[in-house]
Amino acid sequence: MIKNIVFDLGNVLVTFDPKSFLKDLIHNKKIEEDLYSFYFHSDLWILYDQGSYSNEDMIQKGIQIYPQYEKYIRSVIERWVEYVIPIVDNIQLLDLYTNYSLYIISDIPQYNYDYLNEHYSFLQKVNGGIYSYQEKVCKPNKKMFTRLLEKYKINPQECVFIDDKYENIKTALDLGFKGIHLKDPKDLKKKLEEVLYEM
Dump pLDDT digits (tens) for 171-192: 999 999 999 999 999 999 999 9
Query: Taking 90 as the threshold, does the pLDDT of residue 199 lie above it?
Result: no
**How far apart are alpha carbons 118 and 116 in whole angstroms?**
5
pLDDT band at 198 (very low <50, low <70, confident <90, very high): confident
In the chain, % of residues over pLDDT 70:
99
Q: Does the predicted model carry a pTM greater than 0.85?
A: yes
Residue 65: the pLDDT is 98
Looking at residue 101, its pLDDT comes to 98
Q: Are 77 and 55 in contact (CB under 8 A)?
A: yes
User: Which percentage of the chain shows pLDDT scores above 90?
Assistant: 98
Angle between the 29-40 and 18-26 helix axes, to the nearest 10 degrees? 140
Whether pLDDT at 52 is above 80: yes
Q: Which amino acid is at 95?
A: D
Residue 182: φ, ψ to 5°: -90, 100
Kindly provide the b/e burial profile for residues 82-98, where b requires at least 16 CB atoms within 10 angstroms of the residue's own CB.
ebbebbeebbebbeeee
